[in-house]
Amino acid sequence: MKKKKSTNYSLLIISILTIVICVCAIFTFVPMQFGDTLYTGVWGNIGISSNVRGGVYAEYDIVGEASGAQISSSMEKIKNILVEKGYQSSNVLSIDGSKIRVEIGYTGAIGQTLDDARTDLAKVASGAFEFRSASSGTDYVAVTGKDHIKKISVADYNGSTFITFEFNDAGERKFEELCTASQTVYVYMGDSLQTSFSATNVSNFSQIQLSVTDYASAKDFYYRAMYGSIDVKLNSSTMVSNTMSSLLGVGYSEGASIVLWEFVILIALMIVAGFVYLAVKFGIASVLLMPIMMLNSIIACWVFAGISMFEINVASLVAIIIGISVIFGGAIFYLSRIAEEYKQGKTIDASIEAGTKKARPATLITSTLMLAMFGVFAIIASGELACTAVVLTLCGALNILTNAVLLPWFVNSFNKTNKKQGKPFRFAHKGGETNE
């Protein structure tokens, strides 16, 4: 009687968990309207590269004369800022030494429009960032972002948000000169006055902190100040912006490219093929794996949406295919160990126990190595390599969750109600007997 209660309890837990996973899947993948608020689903916050989806480009005229070194340095800085902002597969190009062209992708998800991408591109030509000793005229002391600022950072402290500007040696001397020349410091972006602050209480000339109302405003100012610190001046009034098709050259200008759809179809076919193979080879095990794989997709979406530097591109899509193969391969490896034990004539209970003990160490070792190796790449790399490393690191963790924790638990729980030995799992003893 106690065994029956335990059996019912285990199946009840699995049923509840499956229902919870289904509800979470709805809120993760299905857009819905709540009054005036449109909820896009978690997937709506995942960036998509212009490699696989239509994007936006902008071209900026370079004002005045600029050397090749200045243009190259500016392009590198713009690229680094875009990568930090989440456009991992962005492209920054020089056109005849007179223009800079920037290409980025956009998600196109519900609630996210081309205007969001265009706004980000407009910030590239925010204008030179400067601290000035006067608010008008041309006779003033100036601390410039490109010449005098070493580092810009944003931080929260005791409920307040600050932007910190750290000066290099020349900047420290120049900032002291500015504070001596004027009691008020004026902050400019191009010819636009942003804010001002008193210089009377400044005693440390190596850096200055500006208080900002909220974190979002601080990050917006941070990115514009970073763009305002590049080595060339870009003309914002002559900026040209437009949509573009996938950089792979196939697809609509404002939609997913054929390449993206091919990858989506390939991933879907892989998942279906994985479940079909498990159903043919291991019977009920394919059904037990379904809610676990749905949970994996939910976790993946939340992680991808939560990492600002991550975006869907060709490299990350290939990594997703590899990761799915690793998880399905781990499940097949685990179930095959049980099948081998059962084939030797053991009962299904003994086979599951022995097979789990044999499969788990290998799963933990390979997945831990995968976690460690690609985790390091995710930290130190950038661009598409970082996106690929994020995917494979996550898949290493999900392989442990799936094949060392959840699938063994589901198999054991189902087996408590199993009165047909290996038949539900399509296991057989030598000679083909299922030992029902």
Helix (H) or strand (E) holding 37: strand 37-39
Among 191, 210, 244, give the residue marking a domain's end.
Answer: 244
Range of the domain at 328: 2-30+257-425
Claim to verify: residue 21 and residue 162 sit in the same structural domain: no
pLDDT at 8: 62
Judge whether 50 lies within some domain.
no
Backbone φ, ψ for residue 243 (5° rounding): -80, 165
Q: What is the mean pLDDT of the chain?
A: 85
Judge whether 44 lies within some domain.
no
Q: CA-to-CA distance for 320 and 89, rounded, in angstroms? A: 17
Rg (CA), the chain: 29
pLDDT at 432: 55
pLDDT at 35: 57
Give the CA dihedral 365, 368, 369, 370, nearest 10 degrees. 120
Judge whether 435 lies within some domain.
no
Q: CA-to-CA distance for 144 and 129, rounded, in angstroms? A: 6
Among 244, 274, 309, give the residue marking a domain's end.
Answer: 244
- Token readout for 168 is 């290099």
If we measure between CA atoms, which residue out of 68, 71, 87, 69 comes closest to residue 79? 87
pLDDT at 40: 60
pLDDT at 421: 84
Claim to verify: residue 237 and residue 331 sit in the same structural domain: no
Judge whether 432 lies within some domain.
no
Judge whether 76 lies within some domain.
yes
pLDDT digit string, tens, across residues 242-268: 877 665 544 444 555 677 788 889 999
Claim to verify: residue 325 and residue 361 sit in the same structural domain: yes
pLDDT digit string, tens, across residues 22-53: 888 887 777 666 555 555 667 666 777 767 77
pLDDT digit string, tens, across residues 45-72: 677 776 777 678 899 999 988 999 999 9
Claim to verify: residue 230 and residue 323 sit in the same structural domain: no
Claim to verify: residue 212 and residue 294 sit in the same structural domain: no
pLDDT at 285: 94
Q: Is pLDDT of 4 > 70?
A: no
Claim to verify: residue 114 and residue 26 sit in the same structural domain: no
Q: What is the mean pLDDT of residues 74-82?
A: 92
- Token readout for 290 is 């379904």
pLDDT at 251: 43
Claim to verify: residue 308 and residue 182 sit in the same structural domain: no
Q: What is the mean pLDDT of residues 174-199?
A: 92
pTM: 0.68
Claim to verify: residue 13 and residue 131 sit in the same structural domain: no
If we measure between CA atoms, which residue out of 286, 276, 293 comes closest to residue 425? 286
Claim to verify: residue 156 and residue 280 sit in the same structural domain: no
pLDDT at 389: 94
* Total number of domains constituting the chain: 2
132: β partners: 142, 186
Claim to verify: residue 192 and residue 261 sit in the same structural domain: no
pLDDT digit string, tens, across residues 299-327: 998 898 888 778 888 889 999 999 999 99
Confidence of residue 385 (pLDDT cuts 50, 70, 90): confident
Claim to verify: residue 154 and residue 204 sit in the same structural domain: yes
Q: What is the mean pLDDT of residues 106-135?
A: 79
If we measure between CA atoms, which residue out of 70, 68, 66, 89 comes closest to residue 79? 89
192: β partners: 189
